[in-house]
Chain A
Amino acid sequence: MLDFYGKKLTSRLFLGTAQYPSPTILEDAVKTSGAQVVTVSLRRESGEAKSGQTFWNMISDLGVHVLPNTAGCHTVKEAVTTAHMAREVFGTKWLKLEVISDNDTLCPDVLSLVEAARILVEDDFEVFPYTTEDLSIAGRLLDAGCKVLMPWGAPIGTGLGLNNIYGLKTMRAHFADVPLIIDAGLGLPSHAAHAAELGFDSVLVNTAIAKAGNPVAMAKAFSIAIEAGVMARTADPMEPRDMANPSTPVLGMASFT
């Protein structure tokens, strides 16, 4: 069973909650897919006046774990401020930490990420950092006290899938005992299946589901695909090879001479 900071989960699909056509469709997507964790981004504007409370109540009423995130934060200070608001609003220590460097790629600012993670872990947060596949940064995040890592598949919202398979495989091998969640960039259920085949524990999906023509069906498709990937990995897949290898014996076949 999956274990993130002591919380046991059976579903490997984390859902982002932005951009759905309506809260009802979001709710249906969560229920149909069986997702047990949803992420919610908090605008500091809404946090201050609690004016987003109605929407947050809807999220809380879904009865799943809420993983607040610091989406859109560009500095350590912004991220730390947002984290504190999130903890107050949602009453959870969990925090998906995003510190973004560049608006075109929404690439994590990994130096600020490590710094923010250190501050927040000291402050008793359970941090899920959104990072790249860089091993040294991953090591620093673990040193800072993170017990889960969230490497990107591809830039947020691109739907490109797993962009650096070599890097992700290396990361998986290097941190064999750390829960790893592919965050961002997935566009299709096959991408999620691939992540699971590579041994990643979970995937987080938002745009690919929320902006699908039928978000509920797409959520279900992602959850099935991840399970398929995990099942395939545990079934010990075949090794690829270059030359054809007939699956039925050639010897003894009738010959026509």
Chain B
Amino acid sequence: MIITIVGAGVMGLAIATELAERGVGIEVIDQAPGLGAHACSWYAGGMLSPWCEADMSEPPIVKFGQEAVSWWRKHISKVTERGSIVLAPSRDSAELNRFARRTQNHKSIDGNALAELEPDLAESFSKALYFADEAHINPRQALRDLSEKLLNHGIKIHYDTPLKDYVSKGKIINATGFNARIKLQDLRGVKGEALLLKTHEINITRPIRLMHPRFPVYIVPRGSGTYMIGATQIESEERSKITARSMVDLLNAAYTIHPAFGEAEVLEIGCDVRPAFPDNIPKLCWQGDTLHVNGLFRHGFLLAPACARMAADTILNPKHIPEFMDENYR
């Protein structure tokens, strides 16, 4: 049996890894010319913060997100396990109380404790939440690492290979994100915009989430003075242009976290749409011989490990997964 995995973003590569390790024959195809910005995974933040997600996400996201750290630790070269921090500007401190109430596994810390964790932030913030068990990764490196591991298993990713030009040899797993829209009618795109900044004036070592009235803003350190600032969340399927307003929002957030970001170099402006179902929860569903795994929304790197495990389980031995499958699964 050869299983074809369509889509070499984080979901496709995680499924490929999971199946390859179980000794299943697979092929991976992707219509893009290579690893890069064609997949929305490219612009992910890479936070592995299941507990923080409880603020605005449903319980399965929190539950299955907890599988992420150990899975990534096993499969890629670097997972930074230093926790994450949630901050609010003093005018929004009520938001921090709400966040604390709605989430678990955190500690309220004062300015002194914050100074020990992130000295550069203590001047501007005197109160924060610390989620010690959370972690972060560099998504681009993670995608490269998974690709390389697959090569070690003898699996090469066939780029420039659209599904329509491909003769499948058996079951197919479709992990093409928003591109599967034509097959999955209730899939929608939610636009996200992000910036990559560089500054050596400050040193932040773990993801910082800033309470923001409209969308969760975060800064994720990528090493060597680079930081990912993301991400807007707009009900739009336009995937190529960032608006001035979004840019202002993101830069304002960065500037609020530390004024030195005002002098940072803008390395990259990223924009894409994340695939989401109406309940913003991922789904596995069968269409003929194809298993769709889609709708990871803002949680690609957080939920890919659990979804990959479920996809592998169900394709080898079909079973019902209540959290991520509809009643009418095959």
Contacts and interface: CB of A to CB of B under 8 A. Distances in A.
B106 interface: no
Given A22-B280, A24-B278, A58-B278, A46 B57 contact: no
Nearest to B98: A211
Contacts of A52: 234-237
B323 interface: no
Given A19-B214, A21-B57, A46 B279 contact: no
A39 to B, nearest CB: 14
Interface in B237-280: 237-238, 241, 243, 276, 278-280
A213 interface: yes
B73 interface: no
A135 B307 CA distance: 58
Contacts of B110: none
Contacts of A45: 236, 238, 241, 243
B279 A43 contact: no
Contacts of B276: 22
B33 interface: no
B322 interface: no
B278 A49 contact: no
A53 B236 CA distance: 8
Contacts, number: 56
B237 A54 contact: yes
Contacts of B102: 213
A63 interface: no
A166 interface: no
A54 B182 CA distance: 13
B292 interface: no
B238 A49 contact: yes
A157 B243 CA distance: 24
Nearest to B238: A51
Interface residues of B, number: 23
A55 B243 contact: no
Interface residues of A, number: 21
B58 interface: yes
Interface in B86-141: 98, 101-102
A131 to B, nearest CB: 22
A51 B237 contact: yes
B56 interface: yes
B189 interface: yes
B209 interface: no
A227 interface: no
Contacts of A46: 234-236, 238
Contacts of A157: 213
Nearest to B101: A213
A22 B279 contact: yes
Contacts of B299: none
B58 A43 contact: no
A109 interface: no
A49 B57 CA distance: 29
A85 to B, nearest CB: 13
Contact of A25 (B188, B237, B243, B279): B279
B234 A21 contact: no
B60 to A, nearest CB: 12
A25 B236 CA distance: 19
A211 B276 CA distance: 20
B103 to A, nearest CB: 11
Interface string B278-303: 11110000000000000000000000
Max chain A C-beta neighbours (<10 A), residue from B56, B278, B280: B278
A55 B188 CA distance: 8
Nearest to B91: A104
A23 interface: yes
Q: Which of B102, B236, B237 has the most CB of A within 10 A?
A: B236
Nearest to B281: A22
Contact of A21 (B58, B238, B241): B58
B279 A24 contact: yes
A115 interface: no
Interface in A124-147: none
Interface string B224-235: 000000000011
16 contacts: A19-B214, A21-B57, A22-B278, A22-B279, A22-B281, A23-B280, A24-B278, A24-B279, A27-B278, A43-B236, A46-B235, A46-B238, A51-B237, A51-B238, A55-B188, A157-B213
Question: Nearest 3 CB-CB pairs, A to B?
Answer: A55-B235, A51-B238, A22-B280
Interface of A: 18-19, 21-25, 27, 43, 45-46, 49, 51-55, 58, 157, 211, 213
